[in-house]
Amino acid sequence: MTRAAFEKIVEEAITSLPEEFREHLDNVVVQVEDRASCKQREALGLEPHEDLFGLYEGVSLTRKSVDGPEVPRPDRVWVFQEAIERACTSRKQMIREIQDTVVHEIGHHFGLEEDELEAIEDEYEYDDE
């Protein structure tokens, strides 16, 4: 899949989120890269054979202080194209995995834990193409 087509699916996943979530994403940059950097993989303790589909870097809304200083840089959601492409055998499966990854990583922005995110992913409905 081309980078442009992949990024389009990422954008569609974001716009498919309910408005009450999207309105809190002004300070979140979603960025597509081929793969996680060595520094990102190292920080997570990943083995060389382990794939990473996405990553949230920032301070979740539940941890940001109303009275505290503004974070000088935006929070970031990374989506890693090569890992998703390797794991998927069809375009439809790839679209679903991109959507799940975007929802999962944005969920971290809202302070959700892994078990909460998995439950949301299981119930989240997408428009099938």
DSSP string across 67-84: SSPPPSS-EEEEEEHHHH
Q: What angle do CA 25, 6, 14 make, to 5 degrees?
A: 20
Residue 91 belongs to a domain: yes
Q: Summarize the confidence of residues 29-56 as an average pLDDT.
A: 94
Helix (H, G, I), strand (E, B) or coil at 87: helix
Residue 106 belongs to a domain: yes
Output the domain CATH number for residue 83: 3.30.2010.20
| Whether the predicted model's global pTM rises above the 0.85 cut | no
Residue 129 belongs to a domain: no
Residue 34 belongs to a domain: yes
Residue 128 belongs to a domain: no
- Looking at the structure of the chain, the number of domains it has is 1
pLDDT tens column, 56-108: 998 777 776 554 556 557 889 999 999 999 999 998 898 888 888 888 888 88
Cβ 56 vs Cβ 109: under 8 Å: yes
126 confidence band (pLDDT: 50, 70, 90): low
**Domain span holding position 93:** 3-123
Please report which residue ranges of the chain form alpha helices under DSSP H: 3-15, 19-22, 38-44, 81-87, 91-109, 114-123
